[in-house]
Amino acid sequence: MKQLILACLNLAVLGSAQGIAGAAPVPAAAAPPIAAPKDIAFPGGIRLNVDASDIERRIVRVHESITGLAGDAVLLYPRWLPGEHGPNGPIERLAGLTITAGGAGVPWTRDTVDMYAFHLHLPGGTRALEIDFEYLSPTSPSAGPVEFSREILLLEWPSLVLYPAGYFTRQIPAEVELTLPADWQFASALDKESSAANRTTFKQTTLETLVDSPLFAGRYTSRIDLDPGAAVPVHMNLFADRPDLLAVKPEQVAIHRALVQQAYKLFASHHYAHYDFLYSLSDQVRMIGLEHHQSSEDGTLPTVFTEWDKQPWARDLLSHEYTHSWNGKFRRPADLWTPNYNVPMRDTLLWVYEGQTQYWGEVLAARSGLWTRQQALDVWAETAAYFQTLPGSRWRALEDTTNDEIIERDHHLLWRTWQRAFDYYPEGALIWLDADTLIRERSQGKRSLDDFARAFFGIGDGSMTPVTYTFEDVVKALNAVEPNDWSAFLRERLDAVDKPAPLGGITRGGYKLVFNDTQNDYSKAADGARKRTSLLYSVGLVINEKNATIMDVLWEGPAYKAKLTEGMEILAVDGAAYSAEVLKVAIQTAKDSGAPIELIVKSQDRFRVATLDYHGGLRFPHLERDPSVPARLDDLLTPK
Ligand SMILES: [Zn+2]
């Protein structure tokens, strides 16, 4: 702190001296240029040698050879990662970067504006660059999402590669040799060339396909065929903390097989030569859901199969990520597709990419049996209630939330109900439910959003080359299914602020959003698994039960008015020690008594009494059948 102040003083002295002596400051010269990517063949290639066997220290050692570079060159570390929609490449974990050519050191200079770019000057006659660095994988959750445990490794190639600026990634040949811990098994959509002991060489591919083909490895694994006998195989590759967690029952296998068949009935196509779910069941490595053309990274709870009934909320992960092979990977928004991983992405159409995937992920969960119909209805009750209540939609349009992956990066968004956060997923899903039921109503049940899915995502069967689209393309495809002013329909829902939530799909689907004092089973299970108590629609609070700390406060709700905020600990309710049950009883008591609820809360090391003047009782959302309208929700959730 002291040093900082001194430095500031020195600058001030210098600044004033210059001010006296010369003209006003002008901008410094720009940093040296970085070649924009071109769609021309890269004259060399990348060969990666990755040693990922250090499961204790979680240090991944990379040796990389790059041929085909000369003179002034720029190497890039991937920053804008497909599926992440933001500039999240973990550059802070790259260390020990050393580059040589022909045995002599090649100095590198990091770009002073773009921290992901390294400038080099190569001596004449350079044939190959030899690059060494380490990727320092997080050793605990406090250091970042854990990718490595003593049983499981989640390996993403973009963390482990530097690549030449100036070329489309599909034009850069890449091959990999990988060393894993002894006796571990792996799965990946990459094609294997050869293997010896714990070392595997993969067939040469392009950098684009390599980055799109992560690899999971582990000590306890199993591989389940989800489409036996099919010419285009689909497998579920499980990686677990313990062998007993791999006990998948035949009826659970049948449900996942049904998912594949229901997706084929919906999209009438596939855009992969083979597909691998990379599915980790762990509380040691991170939870993840990340889509790829021929695989997905699916990381969830260790007991998803062994305690199947307890955690329905974890089960639509696979239906969501699988849908992305069609929506997101094959069909991709034109402004989101980028020629390499350092050209910024623009996320304006994520309400299609993620919103419609959220929708199909939920619908396919019900059609395949991952969820019961009631569970799907419970999820939509929660989503509908949230957006009906959401104060943040008074100032922020849905489309603006598509920027959240770039705005948030790794920062936590405070006051979620006011700020809004990633609403293009659930509110996007509500808009597509709205559109689906409207098509069904207008066509008297003859057509539906399934027809849009087949027409929009089902083109080019078997092709893996992305087909990009614009807003106008979406409107055109909807019009081809059911003529309507879809542009106005969508723009109104995407751009308007301070408008009613898009609940047309619920009412047109034959249901009403109602509230009562009983939490629905799905939401109860989600709260139980996440160890939280959700009281957003009554006192306006969500509480973390691990430490009795407030996780979320509804903007301008009763708790907000009592000046409660995220991070406060609740110590007591009406003079009794806090528990979720004590608070729920107090809410019901205050409904009849008219007396306020008194909380003792702690914020850092300060204590105070907060008074909740709320008398509406417990309120939890449900969908209730409206017999005056056809049960379109039931229809669209029925297996095809
Ligand atoms: Zn997604």
User: With 70 as the cut, is the pLDDT of residue 449 above it?
Assistant: yes
What is the whole-number distance in angstroms between the Cα of residue 336 and the centre of ligand 1?
A: 14
What is the whole-number distance in angstroms between the Cα of residue 601 and the centre of ligand 1?
A: 37
What is the whole-number distance in angstroms between the Cα of residue 425 and the centre of ligand 1?
A: 8
Q: Span 408-426, mean pLDDT?
A: 88
Per-residue confidence (pLDDT) for residue 13, from 0 to 100: 44
What is the whole-number distance in angstroms between the Cα of residue 140 and the centre of ligand 1?
A: 25
Q: 């591919």: which residue's tokens?
A: 205
Q: What amino acid occupies position 435?
A: A
Closest CA to 206 of 165, 168, 179, 232: 168
What is the whole-number distance in angstroms between the Cα of residue 83 and the centre of ligand 1?
A: 7
What is the whole-number distance in angstroms between the Cα of residue 57 and the centre of ligand 1?
A: 31
What is the whole-number distance in angstroms between the Cα of residue 521 and the centre of ligand 1?
A: 25
Contact assessment for residue 118 and residue 97, using Cβ atoms and an 8 Å cutoff: yes
Q: Span 591-604, mean pLDDT?
A: 96
What is the whole-number distance in angstroms between the Cα of residue 240 and the centre of ligand 1?
A: 23
pLDDT band for position 14 (cuts 50, 70, 90)? very low
What is the whole-number distance in angstroms between the Cα of residue 343 and the centre of ligand 1?
A: 21
What is the whole-number distance in angstroms between the Cα of residue 305 and the centre of ligand 1?
A: 22
Q: Span 579-586, mean pLDDT?
A: 98
Q: Span 123-142, mean pLDDT?
A: 95
What is the whole-number distance in angstroms between the Cα of residue 62 and the centre of ligand 1?
A: 30
User: With 80 as the cut, is the pLDDT of residue 16 above it?
Assistant: no
pLDDT band for position 11 (cuts 50, 70, 90)? very low
What is the whole-number distance in angstroms between the Cα of residue 291 and the centre of ligand 1?
A: 7
What is the whole-number distance in angstroms between the Cα of residue 322 and the centre of ligand 1?
A: 9
For residue 78, the 8-state DSSP code is: -
What is the whole-number distance in angstroms between the Cα of residue 427 and the centre of ligand 1?
A: 14
What is the whole-number distance in angstroms between the Cα of residue 483 and the centre of ligand 1?
A: 29
What is the whole-number distance in angstroms between the Cα of residue 365 and the centre of ligand 1?
A: 14
Using DSSP, state whether 215 is helix, strand or coil: strand
What is the whole-number distance in angstroms between the Cα of residue 348 and the centre of ligand 1?
A: 15
Greatest extent of the chain over all pairs of C-alpha atoms, in Å: 88
pLDDT digits (tens, 9 = 90+) for 290-337: 999 999 999 999 999 999 998 888 899 999 999 999 999 999 999 999
Q: Span 96-107, mean pLDDT?
A: 96
For residue 509, the Cα-to-chain-centroid distance in whole angstroms is 28
What is the whole-number distance in angstroms between the Cα of residue 354 and the centre of ligand 1?
A: 5
Q: How far apart are the first and last CA of the chain?
A: 66
Q: How far is CA 243 from CA 246, 303, 321, 603, in A?
A: 6, 11, 25, 43
User: With 90 as the cut, is the pLDDT of residue 235 above it?
Assistant: yes
Can you list the alpha helix ranges (DSSP code H) found in 557-607? 558-561, 580-593
Residue 466 neighbours by CB distance under 10 Å: 20
List, in order, residues 6 or more apart from 191 with CB less than 8 Å away.
202, 203, 205
What is the whole-number distance in angstroms between the Cα of residue 127 and the centre of ligand 1?
A: 42
What is the whole-number distance in angstroms between the Cα of residue 352 and the centre of ligand 1?
A: 10
What is the whole-number distance in angstroms between the Cα of residue 403 and the centre of ligand 1?
A: 15
User: With 70 as the cut, is the pLDDT of residue 9 above it?
Assistant: no
What is the whole-number distance in angstroms between the Cα of residue 325 and the centre of ligand 1?
A: 10
Enter the tokens of residue 81: 């990662």
What is the whole-number distance in angstroms between the Cα of residue 394 and the centre of ligand 1?
A: 26
What is the whole-number distance in angstroms between the Cα of residue 159 and the centre of ligand 1?
A: 20
pLDDT band for position 6 (cuts 50, 70, 90)? very low
What is the whole-number distance in angstroms between the Cα of residue 356 and the centre of ligand 1?
A: 9
Contact assessment for residue 610 and residue 564, using Cβ atoms and an 8 Å cutoff: yes
User: With 90 as the cut, is the pLDDT of residue 410 above it?
Assistant: no
Mean pLDDT rounded to a whole number for the chain: 95
Distance (Å, rounded) from C-alpha 320 to C-alpha 215? 19
Per-residue confidence (pLDDT) for residue 10, from 0 to 100: 45
Residue 450 neighbours by CB distance under 10 Å: 20
Tallying the residues shown for the chain, one arrives at 640
What is the whole-number distance in angstroms between the Cα of residue 289 and the centre of ligand 1?
A: 7
What is the whole-number distance in angstroms between the Cα of residue 364 and the centre of ligand 1?
A: 14
What is the whole-number distance in angstroms between the Cα of residue 155 and the centre of ligand 1?
A: 19
pLDDT digits (tens, 9 = 90+) for 263-277: 999 999 999 999 999
In terms of pTM, does the model score above 0.85? Answer: yes
Q: Span 376-392, mean pLDDT?
A: 97
User: With 60 as the cut, is the pLDDT of residue 17 above it?
Assistant: no
What is the whole-number distance in angstroms between the Cα of residue 324 and the centre of ligand 1?
A: 7
What is the whole-number distance in angstroms between the Cα of residue 319 and the centre of ligand 1?
A: 10
What is the whole-number distance in angstroms between the Cα of residue 236 and the centre of ligand 1?
A: 18
* Burial class for 318, CB neighbours closer than 10 Å (0-12, 13-18, 19+): buried
What is the whole-number distance in angstroms between the Cα of residue 357 and the centre of ligand 1?
A: 6
What is the whole-number distance in angstroms between the Cα of residue 317 and the centre of ligand 1?
A: 9
What is the whole-number distance in angstroms between the Cα of residue 636 and the centre of ligand 1?
A: 21
What is the whole-number distance in angstroms between the Cα of residue 510 and the centre of ligand 1?
A: 28
pLDDT digits (tens, 9 = 90+) for 192-229: 999 999 999 999 999 999 999 999 999 999 999 999 99
What is the whole-number distance in angstroms between the Cα of residue 585 and the centre of ligand 1?
A: 38
Per-residue confidence (pLDDT) for residue 19, from 0 to 100: 52
- Pick from 14-18, 114-118, 353-357, 369-373: least confident: 14-18
What is the whole-number distance in angstroms between the Cα of residue 188 and the centre of ligand 1?
A: 19
What is the whole-number distance in angstroms between the Cα of residue 426 and the centre of ligand 1?
A: 11
pLDDT digits (tens, 9 = 90+) for 514-551: 999 999 999 999 999 899 999 999 999 999 999 999 99
Contact assessment for residue 424 and residue 402, using Cβ atoms and an 8 Å cutoff: yes
Closest CA to 238 of 256, 220, 260: 220
Enter the tokens of residue 195: 């293997």
What is the whole-number distance in angstroms between the Cα of residue 498 and the centre of ligand 1?
A: 27
Ion ligand 1 — residues with CB under 5 Å? 354, 357
Q: Span 34-39, mean pLDDT?
A: 98
Q: Span 611-636, mean pLDDT?
A: 98
Distance (Å, rounded) from C-alpha 308 to C-alpha 280? 15
Q: Span 468-497, mean pLDDT?
A: 98
Distance (Å, rounded) from C-alpha 429 to C-alpha 383? 9
Distance (Å, rounded) from C-alpha 160 to C-alpha 187? 18
What is the whole-number distance in angstroms between the Cα of residue 133 and the centre of ligand 1?
A: 31
Per-residue confidence (pLDDT) for residue 231, from 0 to 100: 97
